[in-house]
Amino acid sequence: MTVDVLIRGDGAVGRTLALALSHQGLRVALLGRQAPRPADVRAYALNEAAQALLQRLRVWDSLPPDARTPVLDMQIQGDAGEARLNFSAWQSHLTALATIVDAAELDQALDTALRFAPHVQRVDAEVPHALLALCEGREAQGLEARGITVRRQPYGHHALAGRWVSDTPHQGRAWQWFREGAEVLALLPLDRPEAGHGYAMVWSQDAAEAQRREALSPEALAAELQALLPPAVGTLRPAGPARAWPLASLQAHPIVRPGLVLLGDCAHQVHPLAGQGLNLGLADVADLASVLAQREPWRPLGDPTLLRRYERARALDTWVMARACDGLWHGFAHAAPWARVARNRGLALVDALPPLKRWLSQQATGSARASSTPLPHSSTPSTSALS
């Protein structure tokens, strides 16, 4: 069997790519690991552009309503005094700042859509292909042997993810606290496990501390967490165990070679403090699908000139996001008193400038991209289900 595209790695990025390409009429093989994966307790804050892509692939509307909760308001608290920054969807002229999506449900919805997708086969070994798309995430190996340089910078922090239920309604509000030692604690509203009261937590912190907290009973972890929270969040009870992920920034270069292309976390990893990793990966998918759909009929899929169009399309977006997330984290990691004063004044200053806040939230939500990016479509209208 020969396919047009072999996708190695069946995380959210690999699965979405398989769907997008199959909608163009390309023959796709999807190669994942056979080992069962532990339950994913994460939730993703997905922006408007990511939602638009999933909607066109008929995945978004198949998510159970309680697996996606819009964020209407976000409260960010600095690590000194009363410095805070508030974003509101209403003030930013947006319907939502982001939508929090249950990671396990998204995987499931993608899987179901793939079962009905034409031209996609799951395979358990490599098959002959015109183009290899690597979507192996943080487990990717052997990239150097393919002429790709990988710059990886561990943060020395782990992100602890878990689920909670509050006795107080979340009202669509997300919370984020910057704490001493560049700790970042976020509670994101998610109507699962309980409508109006559920929260998904992402708590990035020193690796040893995260591992200690991961080993605590849910009740003991709840007590530690509760002690850090303002009364407005309410009293939390655990909705399952927490799990820790090591954090690093990563940039692969180049992200294309003849016959080869990288997408998602194996091409770039960012700190989760801005909730942008999967958004970047899904933007990779949209841009690659668009480049392949618009190729000249005589150009092979693995053609270096064609693939460089994808590389150029992704360069600015990923560079800016990587710098922004890294810069923000290092800004908060600086222990000097002057640095603390400066960053907290910075937060308060941005809060006092509504036009700047509006611009920032539109960038983070990807609303400009959602309305301007051509979405993947087929050059042969009869096979396209996306346009």
Ligand X SMILES: Cc1cc2nc3c(=O)[nH]c(=O)nc-3n(C[C@H](O)[C@H](O)[C@H](O)COP(=O)(O)OP(=O)(O)OC[C@H]3O[C@@H](n4cnc5c(N)ncnc54)[C@H](O)[C@@H]3O)c2cc1C
Residues that bind ligand X (CB under 6 A): 8-14, 31-33, 42, 44-45, 135-139, 159, 161, 202, 245, 264-265, 272, 275-279, 281
What are the beta bridge partners of residue 249? 153
Nearer Cβ to ligand X (83/288) = 288
Q: Least distance to ligand X from the beta carbon of 40, Å?
A: 9
Nearer Cβ to ligand X (44/199) = 44
Q: Least distance to ligand X from the beta carbon of 385, Å?
A: 22
Q: Are 272 and 185 in contact (CB under 8 A)?
A: no
Both tokens assigned to 49: 């552009």
Q: Least distance to ligand X from the beta carbon of 189, Å?
A: 12
**Dist. CA 253–CA 159, nearest whole Å:** 26
Class of residue 316 by CB neighbours under 10 A (exposed 0-12, middle 13-18, buried 19+): exposed
**Dist. CA 136–CA 154, nearest whole Å:** 18
What are the beta bridge partners of residue 243? 161
**Dist. CA 245–CA 168, nearest whole Å:** 28
Nearer Cβ to ligand X (340/369) = 369
Q: Least distance to ligand X from the beta carbon of 348, Å?
A: 25
Nearer Cβ to ligand X (10/105) = 10
Peptide bond into 193 cis (omega under 30): yes
Nearer Cβ to ligand X (29/83) = 29
Q: Which residue in this structure is represented by tokens 């009973």?
A: 217
Both tokens assigned to 63: 């998510």
Nearer Cβ to ligand X (143/161) = 161
Residue 337: DSSP 8-state: H
Q: Distances from the Cα of 160 to the Cαs of 89, 98, 116, 219, in angstroms?
A: 27, 21, 35, 15
Q: Least distance to ligand X from the beta carbon of 22, Å?
A: 17
Q: Least distance to ligand X from the beta carbon of 222, Å?
A: 18
Nearer Cβ to ligand X (27/42) = 42
Peptide bond into 189 cis (omega under 30): no
- Angle formed at CA 378 by CA 377 and CA 380, multiple of 5 degrees: 150
Q: Least distance to ligand X from the beta carbon of 278, Å?
A: 3
